[in-house]
Structure 1
Amino acid sequence: MTYRIEKDALGKVQVPKNKYWGAQTERSRRNFKIGKKSSMPIEIIYAFGLLKKAISYVNFKLGFLCKKKKDLISLVCDEIINGKLDDQFPLVIWQTGSGTHTNMNVNEVISNRVNVLIGKNMGDEKPFIHPNDDVNMSQSSNDTFSTAMHIASYKLLVEKTIPSIEELMNNLEKKKNSFQHIIKIGRTHLMDAVPITLGQEFSGYVSQIKNGLTSLKNSLNRLLDLPIGGTAVGTGLNAPHGYDLQVVEKLKSETGYPFKVAKNKFESLSSHDAIVENHSSLKQIAVSLIKISNDIRFLASGPRSGIGEIHIPKNETGSSIMPGKINPTQCESLIMVCTQIIGNDVAISIAGSSGNYELNVCKPLIIYNFLESALLLSDSCTSFSSLCIKGIKPNHQRIKEFLDKSLMLVTVLNTHIGYDKATKIVQSAYANNSSLKDESIRLGYLSSEEFDKIVDPSKMI
């Protein structure tokens, strides 16, 4: 590899000749060789592209940046947003807690890319676009990285995560409706209980997801509050009057999303409670999905030695040694994803509490885990919905077999013969391996006609 020389306040640094980043990025790349696979999420880089473009426009409009510089910065920002410079952002999340290194990575890439576009050399001591003076004008890493966190989080949730969850909920709703008249035995404590319909069972799943979505959508509004203009500590030092409002207006026009200026920038820089709250909703949905996944894989267990009340799609072979085995792999995958999301929530909660005075110093960790959860949940809901839920079919024979054999149908007799007599019927039926009806007649509590009239599962749901 060949190198060029770049300079910063600490001196000269060798930088790969074919890369647009500069000295500060290179120092971070060398000093934080930690978890090379834990790269800064590309969604943050794209959010920075949107933000730097909006800021260059406002700095030009306020008379602090010439039109040519504004146009060139905007041109490179569009390249960033469109993914043309993805390989120019090598830093990991395990860096400075403010995200300063990534902010400077973006600034340096924009600066050097502009210099190349106008025919200058990268690393020029007098660049046409300076990474700090021009690209970072009116900003601090503290307010730009925090703003990028909110932009990336909001965009991902509304463009991908929420639609995927809604798709899953809708497919569960369809199953609920088609299963509404299939009567089966209910289970509590993993033991036989009174009857329920398969549709009623699925209605619980629909309601869980709907409640989680409501929580997530209710907390979305807080992500719209952007701390841009707070600069280093929230006071807005070095940012011109009205700059924050104009940047947010430009972002609104660029994205179509109703972003707002944060009411209190001291809160926005020193804490990330909005993201903590939103991720709590993602965790709530993850908790619900683990319950749903377990129910479905238990209901589908078998095919001959389990419950087997439903059939799930046969997507792939399940064993390298047992021929013909099919496993509930979509359920297992979703459970692992949701377990990861719950773990991410713990990390985000602890990181969110690490706001020391005027700055939270775990920003990269917070956004890395948040975006991972949002992406994982989106992908998993889509996969689970299309490759499992849509293909579920009831096993009518098995459902009827369990319903007919259930001893808990006796519960309906409580109001006719009393709890104690009903208990004796159950105990006798279990001990003699006989039916409730046979024991009711044998014990003299009910006639055949009386039993058939009272013990009707269709009247118990």
Structure 2
Amino acid sequence: MQAGHFRSEHDLLGDREVPAEAYYGVHTLRAIENFPITGTPISIYPELIKALAAIKQAAALANHELGLLDKPRCDAIVAACQELMAGKLHEQFVVDVIQGGAGTSTNMNANEVIANRALELLGHQKGEYQHLHPNEHVNIGQSTNDVYPSALKIATWFGIAGLVDAMAVLRRAFEAKADEFADIIKMGRTQLQDAVPMTLGQEFSTYAVMLGEDEQRLREAAMLICEINLGATAIGTGITAHPSYAPVVLRRLRDITGIALETAPNLFEATQDCGAFVQLSGVLKRVAVKLSKTCNDLRLLASGPRAGLGEINLPPMQAGSSIMPGKVNPVIPEVMNQIAFEVIGNDVTVSFAAEAGQLQLNAFEPIIAHSLFKSVSHLRNGCLTLAERCVKGITANADKLRATVENSIGVVTALNPYIGYANATAVAQEAHATGGSVYEIVLRKGLLSKEQLDRILRPETLTRPAPLDVLAKPQ
């Protein structure tokens, strides 16, 4: 069936010439022509290819166990799938990440690549489907409508595991800085106005705690995507599948992936509902929002070097300007901000796509997949970049931070229990009007002694709940 550098393949719409060396077939060829949208093929997401291969391998083993697929074909399909899971032939997954058809083009791309590689392993030529067919053998007992969403969940599960690991790297970087800066006193701020003193370590510990919380939220979201609809086939009835297929393929898929997958209790609901993807996207947005806020803080604290806050120094990564000599910009926090903006936008896309499903199927899962995979991948890369190329190299301007505290009006808050709110307000107003220090004004007014002030304004008293002997009003 091959002539020159092409082979002829047939489908519902007729005959087409497919490149002889291609492992994909006519269905994939039509998808390439129909969806020239982004120019980005699904091979950009290796976790998706591996998830599809895992499902096809599990299906072959299940169908062989149930007497529907002979051993030679089963073994060839399994071997081809194992090669895909090892990273081979991914360049043959060429359909666009954005496609119509509810993922059918992706499923057929997988069926064709696996079939043609299996044919080679059996000693046949690509396209000799009379020996092993993409639909009749690779796709037996399956539909795009249960394969594709199940593959998305498996791929996303692996992606989340990588993201959680990257977030842990960033969290540990912030924890190390929190320890390093534990004794460096500074002014805290609310609404960009001086508030009360704290330590720089306390400030950095906040960023670590926020990451730790979101690591747990992601693990919880990952549990939701362990429920799959494999065995539902087209809409949930399981039509064309063996009556025992669902539990057998689940067992096989668990063994292959190592994931504690479960078959959904209602396959009709699971085939049309994208709620788990919406939940996960919301958690990814939460992660992005908090990381972006953290990077806003880093950029603000490092602003300057002379005309800004200048409390910390970010490690210089590159020249910051083509016109201003010596300028260095906070490029690493800036790139994380932009990742966050993208993730927030992706969440909107996922929400619209999930809402747009109709009746027994959601046709828009390809854009859900593309959005989720981008969010997970970019957040992972961003966390690792932020940790390695920014947070680990941050230094503190300790002397400037202490001087800011000593010159701040905000320390007057610590005197409320001793001189009263009215007196403290008067001291603050005078300090603001004259530029004088709170310490000096309190002494001059005779509101407290030097010994009392020194005891009250100790750093360890200012940055944590005061011991009883300090809170006791002077006699």
Fold shared per TM-score above 0.5: yes
Counterpart among 429, 433, 436 of residue 434 in structure 1? 436
Structure-1 separation of matches of 2:73 and 2:119: 11
User: Contact 1:146–1:363 (CA<8 Å) still a contact in 2?
Assistant: yes
> CA offset at residue 318 of structure 1?
1.9
For the residues of structure 1 that align with 2:362 and 2:215, how far apart are their CA atoms? 28
Q: Which residue of 2 aligns with 1:193?
A: 195
Shift of 1:91: 0.5
1:73 is matched with: 77
Q: Which shows bigger deviation, 412-421 or 94-103?
A: 412-421
- Equivalent residue in structure 2 for 1:295, among 294, 297, 309: 297
SS at match of 1:359: coil
Contact 1:231-1:238 within 8 A present in 2 as well: yes
**What's 2:167 paired with?**
165
Matches within 5 A, 1:212-361: 212-361=214-363
Kept after mapping to 1: 8 A contact 2:189/2:196: yes
Q: Which amino acid aligns with 2:37?
A: I
**Range moving further from structure 2, 403-412 or 81-90:** 81-90
Query: In 1, distance between residues paired with 2:292 and 2:385?
Result: 15
Unaligned runs of 5+ in 1: none
Give the TM-score, by structure 1 length. Answer: 0.95
Residue equivalent to 1:26: 29
Quote how far apart the aligned CAs of 1:446 are: 4.2
Give the Cα–Cα distance (whole angstroms) in 1 for the partners of residues 380 and 292 of structure 2: 15
The Cα of 1:458 is off from its aligned counterpart by: 3.1
Instruction: Give the deviation of 1:106 after TM superposition.
Output: 1.1
Look up the SS of the partner of 1:196 in the other structure.
strand
**2:41/2:93 contact within 8 Å kept:** no
| 2:6 is the alignment partner of 1:3 | yes
Does the alignment pair 1:13 with 2:6? Answer: no
Point out the more displaced range, 412-421 or 188-197. 412-421
* Residue aligned with 2:336, SS: helix
Q: 2:470 — aligned with what?
A: none
Contact 1:115 1:127 in 2 (8 A): no
Contact in 2 for aligned 1:76/1:110 (Cα 8 Å): yes
**Corresponding residue of 2:155:** 152
Deviation at 1:413, TM superposition (A): 2.3
Contact kept? 1:53, 1:77, Cα under 8 Å? yes
Contact kept in structure 1, 2:178 and 2:204, CA below 8 Å: yes
Question: Does structure 2 conserve the Cα–Cα contact (< 8 Å) formed by 1:53 and 1:74?
Answer: yes
Give the whole-Å Cα distance in 2 for the aligned partners of 1:233 and 1:357. 10
Cα offset, 1:448, TM superposition: 4.3
Whether 1:135 aligns to 2:135 is no
CA deviations on 1:109-158 (whole Å, 9 max, x unpaired) are: 2222233344433334x521111111110001100001101110111212
CA distance in 2, matches of 1:285, 1:169: 12
Identity %: 39
TM normalised by structure 2 equals 0.92
Equivalent residues of 2:145, 2:233 under 8 A apart: yes
Give the counterpart of 1:363 among 349, 362, 365: 365
Q: 1:213 to 1:277 in 2, by over 3 A?
A: same
Q: CA deviation at 1:420?
A: 2.5
CA contact under 8 A between 2:185 and 2:197: conserved in structure 1?
A: yes
- TM superposition shift of 1:64: 0.5
| Equivalence for 1:47 | 51
Contact in 1 for aligned 2:41/2:94 (Cα 8 Å): no
The Cα shift of 1:459 comes to: 1.3
Q: Contact 2:25/2:127 (CA < 8 Å) preserved in 1?
A: yes
> Displacement, 1:275?
1.8
Decide whether the 8 Å contact of 1:409 with 1:457 is kept in 2: no
Contact 2:235 2:268 in 1 (8 A): yes
Corresponding residue for 2:104?
100
- Counterpart amino acid of residue 223 in structure 1: I
> What's 2:469 paired with?
none
Note the aligned Cα RMSD (angstroms). 1.8
Give the 3-state SS of the residue equivalent to 2:439 in structure 1: helix
Q: For residues 37-83 of structure 1, what are the alpha-carbon distances to aligned partners after superposition, in whole Å with 9 as ceiling and x for unaligned?
A: 26463322221111101111111111111000001111111222222
User: Where in structure 2 are there 5+ consecutive unaligned residues?
Assistant: 464-475
Distance 2:204 2:268 in 1: 45
* Partner Cα distance (1:193, 1:346) in 2: 36
CA distance in 1, matches of 2:353, 2:310: 44
Is the CA contact (8 Å cut-off) linking 2:189 and 2:195 kept in structure 1? yes
Question: What secondary structure is seen at the aligned counterpart in 1 of 2:187?
Answer: strand
Shift of residue 457 of structure 1? 4.0
